């Protein structure tokens, strides 16, 4: 017998019609599909008659049928027939009533703090989304919806990865069951049902965990209402401990977001589900039925929210100027929870969009009765119906909700039972997006047009690319540049460290004068094989890098001598564009993981920070804040002024190395004396540069920092040598003797003989200024009063109260797979990390990067008080996150971290070793200000600024 080949011409025309422009109603007539009931061949079930029902009256007739002629059985392919979508008749009505009135507490969901849950979900999703100039409204809505349902049902944060994949699976399944299986062209890549065993088992486990917590909190300690046994195994108890901590934090967050007593006493739906009486009609009787209800609600909620937000925002961005202004006022009214009249404008606009374009544009049914005719077309038993529910109709005179469209006004079995739960989230997400300054569609350069909402078959929203003024949300930008050191490492690695140490004064002065750089430091990685530069700055990337090229270009010219793949065109001061391109390429390889960048003061620029601090000090009657040694803007003495030229003269680098080392705690001025021999050797090795070195020396000895006259440069090399040798030999003795005198003769039993004054008066003046500056250090005193030479100590915490920390952890093999998993975990945990860092009051900035071709994960942080407070903070507040991160990291400590904090702290402390700032040099725009100082000054300063 010859097998009949299915005719898919009508099917293909239907698919082309739905793919042509999914932002407008389909042009049925253009494709010859304007029949009220259209027969076509299903690709998945070519032997089963399939019909598209377009006519609104006929769609209503099918949905309002009470005679049992049409069935919901197509939904059973999603995962069985336990959930109400796949139920018919009385079973459907009973389960629907149970979910609505027992689980949700009625149509109004009065006992659920949904407004606060919606605000919290927006705040958490915005942590990552708003940190970038470009965002995807659909992705943001999906992330917020996942977090919303996770909180609503009581899932801990460790389940966010599972929930993200699960909700996408369920929603893709809905699209497939309703439409995709009939018109999809590639059955091999189509959605395929699996048993979702992992998700079902996890939901059942979670319901039992909530029952355990409820039983444990009761006075009797009895089992929960569902008869669930108490948890006894260590794994169960650890899991319940995590759930209890996160539930307590969730309730506190809800109260902080305005939920009041409803937030403080919030009971998640999984806890309510497990404790509800099972004797009521429609109640799930088995754990599998309970899991089916949860999975169905999760998938439908997240999918419909992401599509609805995409539809609403895409439509509202087309509003005229007056309407757009009204919508933004309404969005701000929702944020302030006031101006109810203005808020109504946003509600009306949202409802109108969804009334015209329902997020679910099609619904499936199966014919079960014999002899049915619909619109003059005979429907055989078993036939599949695809009901078109998306055709717009004229707006009724009275305002309607989105669930009261021409189809859903019937109170049909598939109108939204969670509208009072979901609608606050839709409004919150829409308002949050409309409030963003400069919100607009992203421009597609290739197509030469704005990018619009991407939707599949008038169904699932895929993407809505937007842009906004990121600097209005987060003004600071991180920069991470990792460069490979040339071979041999033993030669080029130490040379880079010496060079950075010598350049510290130049870097310090240049960054201070920029007034847009918050912090900067260098770190060596992988045994000196890589050099990394980390900075945080305000404003444009190109402007920042070009400024840096102009001010410290010679430094990078010298650095690139030791770096692989350095820019070909140098000096970079003459070719800044090439330098910008090289730095951009390097930064792109090490951008912050998941885009997470924490800032304690995201709205504050360096200039505003200085202004706020100066204003507060004036209010307190205090003078200008003095920067630590070597960092005062007015202390541009000869050494700092000459640093730039000194870098160009190799023989002078050794002269400045001791000065750099002397700026650190544990000062030993004898290092200056030890450098004399090295300087003499350098001069003898570079006779051709004596003239340039003479100019450098003249700069060192000049008072005004200007270029010395030609006649001030000794032409005779012997005279030059004499001056250099005198400077490096006699200056340490001068300084040492002066300091011994200022310390009351302490430090040596016999004061050092400074000898006669230096022959060059300006060199003597330099010694005097150096003494004055060092003597002004807070807490200065002799470290060893009985020592042969004067060694000094001081109190560096009185000068610099914060510094950089770099924690580097190796990633498990296979590194690429685990690196991707780490990115997902960090993205989902971003709100938790941001909250614990913000509430600690310790961290100025923090972000993660992947290093060494995704073989290492680094946490970069700028914190008050050093390493130990940071480690303690992570052990207390981020233990659950690190439990999950260490699943993908090598050499994990014992877990859970909450029970092995000392081992966790030791493991992280070891990860810092060898990754300190090169030469101990760290630039900060406000080295003497703690996070709390900056935040307090900012609050007071902004409060008094004119409106």
3-state secondary structure of 782: strand
Maximum Cα interatomic distance, the chain, rounded to a whole number of Å: 121
Please list the residues that pair with 481 across neighbouring strands: 533
> Residue 323's CB: how many other CB atoms inside 10 A?
13
Contact status, residue 63 vs residue 410, Cβ threshold 8 Å:
yes
Determine if residue 946 is left, alpha or beta; phi over 0 gives left, psi from -120 to 50 gives alpha, anything else beta.
beta
DSSP 866: -
Report pLDDT digits (tens) over 286-339: 888 888 888 888 888 898 899 999 999 998 888 776 677 777 777 776 665 555
pLDDT given for residue 822 in this prediction: 95
DSSP 747: T
> Residues 6 or more apart from 244 whose CB is under 8 A from it?
213
Contact status, residue 403 vs residue 56, Cβ threshold 8 Å:
no
Per DSSP bridges, beta strands 781-782 and 476-484 are unpaired
pLDDT given for residue 266 in this prediction: 92
> Residues 6 or more apart from 759 whose CB is under 8 A from it?
723, 726
Q: pLDDT under 50 in the chain at which residues?
A: 1-3, 188, 219-226, 392-414, 628-717, 720, 745-749, 783, 788-798
The number of residues in the chain equals 947
CA gap 417, 422 in Å, rounded: 10
pLDDT given for residue 194 in this prediction: 62
Contact status, residue 98 vs residue 444, Cβ threshold 8 Å:
no
> Residues 6 or more apart from 441 whose CB is under 8 A from it?
317, 450, 451, 452, 465, 466, 467
pLDDT given for residue 652 in this prediction: 37
CA proximity to 826, closest of 484, 554, 595: 595
Cα of first residue to Cα of last residue in the chain, in angstroms, is 85
pTM of model > 0.85: no
**What's the token pair of residue 168?**
């996408």
3-state secondary structure of 38: strand
Please list the residues that pair with 483 across neighbouring strands: 531
Residues 603, 594, 257, CA angle at the centre, nearest 5°? 55
**What's the token pair of residue 237?**
């108890």
pLDDT given for residue 738 in this prediction: 63
CA gap 102, 878 in Å, rounded: 35
Query: If you search the block for the tokens 């150096």, which residue do you land on?
Result: 770
3-state secondary structure of 811: strand
CA gap 498, 479 in Å, rounded: 23
């Amino acid at each position: 017998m010859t097998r009949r080949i299915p005719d898919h011409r009508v099917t293909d025309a239907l698919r082309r019609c739905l793919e042509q422009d999914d932002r407008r109603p389909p042009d049925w007539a253009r494709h010859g599909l304007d029949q009220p009931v259209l027969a076509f061949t299903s690709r998945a079930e070519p032997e089963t008659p399939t019909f598209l029902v377009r006519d609104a009256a006929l769609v209503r007739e099918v949905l309002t049928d009470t005679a049992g002629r049409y069935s919901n059985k197509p939904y059973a392919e999603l995962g069985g027939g336990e959930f109400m979508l796949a139920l018919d008749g009385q079973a459907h009505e009973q389960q629907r009533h149970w979910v609505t009135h027992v689980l949700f507490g009625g149509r109004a969901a009065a006992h659920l703090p949904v407004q606060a849950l919606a605000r919290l979900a927006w705040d958490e999703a915005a942590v990552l989304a708003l940190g970038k100039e470009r965002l995807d409204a659909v992705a943001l809505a999906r992330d917020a919806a996942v977090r919303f349902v996770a909180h609503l049902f009581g899932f801990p944060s460790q389940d966010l990865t599972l929930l993200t994949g699960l909700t996408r699976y369920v929603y893709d399944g809905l699209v497939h069951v309703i439409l995709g299986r009939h018109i999809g062209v590639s059955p091999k890549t189509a959605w395929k049902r699996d048993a979702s065993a992992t998700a079902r088992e996890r939901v059942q486990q979670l319901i039992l965990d909530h029952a355990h917590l409820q039983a444990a909190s009761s006075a009797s300690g009895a089992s929960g209402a569902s008869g669930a046994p108490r948890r006894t195994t260590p794994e169960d108890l650890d899991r319940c401990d995590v759930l209890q901590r996160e539930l307590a934090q969730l309730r506190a967050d809800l109260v902080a977001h305005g939920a009041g007593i409803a937030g403080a006493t919030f009971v998640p739906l999984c806890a309510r589900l497990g404790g509800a009486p099972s004797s009521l009609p429609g109640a799930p009787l088995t754990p599998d039925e309970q899991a089916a209800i949860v999975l169905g609600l999760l998938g439908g909620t997240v999918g419909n929210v992401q599509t609805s937000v995409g539809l609403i925002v895409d439509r509202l961005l087309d509003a005229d100027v007056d309407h757009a202004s009204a919508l933004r006022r309404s969005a701000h009214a929702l944020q302030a929870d006031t101006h109810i009249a203005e808020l109504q404008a946003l509600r009306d606009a949202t409802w109108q969009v969804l009334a015209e374009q329902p997020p679910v544009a099609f619904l499936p049914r199966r014919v079960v009765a014999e002899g049915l005719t619909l619109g003059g077309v005979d429907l055989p038993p078993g036939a599949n119906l695809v009901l078109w529910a998306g055709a717009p109709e004229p707006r009724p005179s009275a305002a309607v909700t989105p669930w009261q469209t021409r189809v859903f006004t019937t109170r049909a079995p598939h109108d939204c039972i969670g509208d009072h739960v979901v609608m606050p989230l839709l409004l919150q997400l829409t308002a949050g997006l409309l409030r963003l300054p400069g919100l607009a569609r992203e421009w597609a350069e290739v197509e030469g047009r704005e990018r619009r909402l991407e939707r599949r078959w008038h169904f699932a929203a895929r993407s809505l690319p937007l842009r906004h003024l990121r600097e209005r949300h987060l003004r600071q930008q991180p920069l991470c540049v990792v460069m490979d050191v040339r071979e041999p490492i033993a030669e080029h690695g130490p040379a880079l460290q010496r060079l950075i140490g010598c350049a510290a004064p130049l870097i310090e002065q240049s960054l201070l004068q920029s007034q847009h750089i918050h912090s900067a430091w260098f770190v060596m990685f992988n045994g000196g094989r890589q050099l990394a530069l980390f900075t945080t700055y305000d404003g444009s990337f190109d402007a920042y890098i070009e400024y840096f090229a102009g001010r410290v270009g010679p430094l990078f010219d010298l650095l690139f001598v030791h770096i692989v793949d350095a820019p070909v065109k140098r000096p970079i001061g003459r070719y800044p564009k090439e330098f910008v391109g090289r730095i951009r390429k390097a930064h792109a390889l090490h951008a912050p993981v998941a885009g997470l960048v924490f800032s304690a003061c995201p709205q504050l620029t360096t200039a505003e920070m200085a202004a706020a601090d100066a204003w507060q000090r004036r209010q307190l009657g205090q003078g200008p804040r003095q920067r630590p040694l070597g960092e005062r803007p007015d202390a541009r003495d000869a050494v700092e002024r000459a640093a730039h030229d000194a870098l160009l003269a190799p023989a002078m680098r050794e002269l400045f190395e001791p000065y750099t080392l002397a700026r650190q705690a544990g000062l030993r001025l004898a290092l200056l004396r030890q450098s004399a021999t090295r300087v003499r050797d350098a001069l003898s090795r570079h006779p051709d540069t004596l003239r340039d070195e003479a100019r450098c020396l003249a700069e060192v000895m000049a008072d005004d920092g200007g270029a010395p006259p030609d006649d001030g440069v000794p032409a005779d090399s012997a005279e030059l040598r004499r001056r250099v040798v005198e400077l490096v030999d006699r200056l340490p003795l001068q300084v040492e003797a002066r300091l011994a005198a200022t310390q009351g003769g302490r430090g040596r039993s016999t004061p050092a003989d400074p000898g006669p004054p230096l022959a060059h008066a300006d060199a003597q003046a330099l010694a005097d200024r150096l003494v004055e500056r060092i003597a002004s250090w807070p807490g200065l005193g002799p470290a060893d009063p009985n020592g042969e030479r004067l060694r000094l100590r001081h109190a560096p915490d009185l000068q610099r109260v914060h510094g950089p920390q770099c924690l580097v952890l190796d990633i498990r093999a296979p590194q690429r797979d685990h690196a991707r998993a780490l990115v997902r975990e960090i993205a989902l945990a971003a709100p938790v990390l941001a909250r614990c860092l913000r509430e600690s009051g310790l961290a100025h900035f923090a972000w993660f990067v992947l290093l060494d071709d995704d073989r290492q994960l680094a946490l970069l942080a700028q914190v008050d008080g050093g390493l130990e407070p940071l480690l303690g903070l992570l052990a207390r507040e981020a233990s659950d996150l690190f439990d999950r991160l260490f699943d993908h990291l090598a050499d994990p400590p014992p877990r859970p971290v909450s029970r092995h904090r000392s081992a966790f702290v030791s493991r992280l402390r070891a990860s810092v070793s060898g990754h300190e700032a090169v030469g101990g040099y760290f630039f900060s725009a406000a080295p003497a200000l703690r996070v709390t100082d900056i935040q307090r000054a900012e609050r007071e300063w902004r409060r008094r600024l004119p409106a």
